[in-house]
Amino acid sequence: MLMKLATNQRDISLIGVPLQLGADRAGVELGPHALRTSNIQQRLEYLGHRVHDTGDIHVNRLDPCAPGEKLKYLAEIARVNAELAQRVAAEMRRGHFPLVIGGDHSVAIGTIKGVLQHVNRLGVIWFDAHPDVNTEETTGSGNIHGMSLAVMLGYGHKSLISIGGEQAKINPRNVVIIGARSIDPGERIFLREQGIRVFTMHEIDKYGMRAVMDEAMERVTDGTDGVHLSLDLDGMDPQEAPGVGTPVSGGITYRESHYAMETLYESGALVSAEIVEVNPMLDIGNKTARAAVELAGSVFGERIL
C-alpha cells in the first residue's frame, strides 16, 4: 500500500505542452493527455498538494519540413518555448511549483528559461538516455529535442538562446546527466569541453543508484538556489517504458528510477520539473504514462510505507 506524506505540501501548476515538432515524430504530442488520463492530478492531490491545471499551450500544425532543413520547425518551437517560459515565470510568481508535461524534450528550453527568471543559480538533473547537447553544427537529424540542454548552456540558435534573455542560462558544473547510453560523437566532445558530469549506465551498474544520486545531489546543490528535474521517460529501460520515440536498450530500472525521484524529494531542493517524451502511439497498454505518473508521485513525496 502506498503512503502519502503530510510534509512539503505545495501549490503545483500543471502546464501541458503538446509539442512533437522537436522530435519530428507523431504521437508525443498526446503525452499531456495520456498523463492527465492516467490521473497525475489526482495522484498529487492525494499526497496533499494543491494542483492547478493551467491547460495546454497551443501548438500550430505545420507541413513537413523541406528536405535538408538544418533545424526543423525552428520558428514554431521557439514561439512555443517563449510562451512556455512566460507561463512558467508567471506561475512561479504566484508561488506555484511549475510541473510541465510534454511533449518532446525541446520543451525543457521554455521550462528552464522561465525558472531562470526567478532562480539565478539553478542546478539541473537531466534524466535521459541522451545528453541532448547537439548543436546546429553537430546534429545529424535536425531535431531540436536533441539540442535542448546545449541551448540552456548558451549554445544554439539565437532564437532559442535569446528566450528569456541570453544571460538566462545554467552553469555546466551544476548539471548532471543520469542514464546516458546513446551519445553522438559531437556530443562527446561538447560534454568533455563543458566538464558536465555524466552518469552513464556503466556508472549506475558499477556504483549503484544510491552512490550516483549522492554525488549528483552534491553537484547540483553546490552554490545553487534550487534544482530542476528534467525527466525524459526514455531514461528508463524500454521494458519499463516502451512508449517513447527514441528507446535505447539497457536503461534504468523501475526501482532505480523511483529511488532517484525519492532522493530528489528528500533533498527539499526541487523548484521545478518537466516530464517528457511519453508517446501513447508507441506505448503498450499505457504502461509508460502510468510509469511517468508513478514517478511523479515519488518526486512529490509518495512512499511505500
Identify whether 237 is a catalytic site residue. Answer: no
Class of domain 11-60+69-299: alpha beta
Binding residues: 105, 128, 130, 132, 232, 234
Identify whether 76 is a catalytic site residue. Answer: no
Identify whether 105 is a catalytic site residue. Answer: yes
Residue 254 has pLDDT above 90, yes or no: yes
State the Cα angle at 85 between 67 and 278, rounded to 5°.
60
Whether 238 and 172 have beta carbons less than 8 Å apart is answered as no
Identify whether 118 is a catalytic site residue. Answer: no
CA distances from 251 to 83, 241, 255 (A): 33, 10, 12
Three-class secondary structure of residue 172 per DSSP: helix
Q: What is the mean pLDDT of the chain?
A: 95
In this predicted structure, what is the pLDDT of residue 8?
66
Q: What is the mean pLDDT of residues 174-191?
A: 98
- Largest Cα span, the chain: 54
Q: What is the mean pLDDT of residues 187-210?
A: 98
How far is it, in rounded angstroms, from Cα 12 to Cα 154?
Answer: 28
Is the peptide bond prior to 165 cis by the omega test (within 30 degrees of 0)?
Answer: no
Please tell me which residue in 234, 237, 256, 274 is annotated as part of the active site: 234
Higher pLDDT, 2 or 69: 69
Question: Phi/psi at 242 (nearest 5 deg)?
Answer: -75, -20
Identify whether 56 is a catalytic site residue. Answer: no
Please tell me which residue in 145, 187, 240, 274 is annotated as part of the active site: 145
Position 102, amino acid: G
How far is it, in rounded angstroms, from Cα 135 to Cα 191?
Answer: 12
Binding residues for Mn(2+): 105, 128, 130, 132, 232, 234
Q: What is the mean pLDDT of residues 54-76?
A: 89
Please tell me which residue in 105, 262, 274, 283 is annotated as part of the active site: 105
Provide the pairing of β-strand 122-127 with 50-56: unpaired
Please tell me which residue in 24, 29, 56, 132 is annotated as part of the active site: 132
In this predicted structure, what is the pLDDT of residue 1?
38
Three-class secondary structure of residue 273 per DSSP: strand
Domain edges within the chain: 11-60+69-299
Please tell me which residue in 49, 96, 130, 258 is annotated as part of the active site: 130
In sequence order, the β-bridge partners of residue 201 are none
Identify whether 49 is a catalytic site residue. Answer: no
Residue 67 has pLDDT above 80, yes or no: no
Residue 5 has pLDDT above 80, yes or no: no
Please tell me which residue in 24, 56, 91, 232 is annotated as part of the active site: 232
Identify whether 283 is a catalytic site residue. Answer: no
Please tell me which residue in 24, 56, 128, 237 is annotated as part of the active site: 128
Between 287-299 and 254-267, two packed helices, what is the crossing angle to 10 degrees?
A: 30
Whether 19 and 77 have beta carbons less than 8 Å apart is answered as yes
Q: What is the mean pLDDT of residues 46-67?
A: 91
How far is it, in rounded angstroms, from Cα 28 to Cα 8?
Answer: 31
Identify whether 214 is a catalytic site residue. Answer: no
Residue 7 has pLDDT above 90, yes or no: no
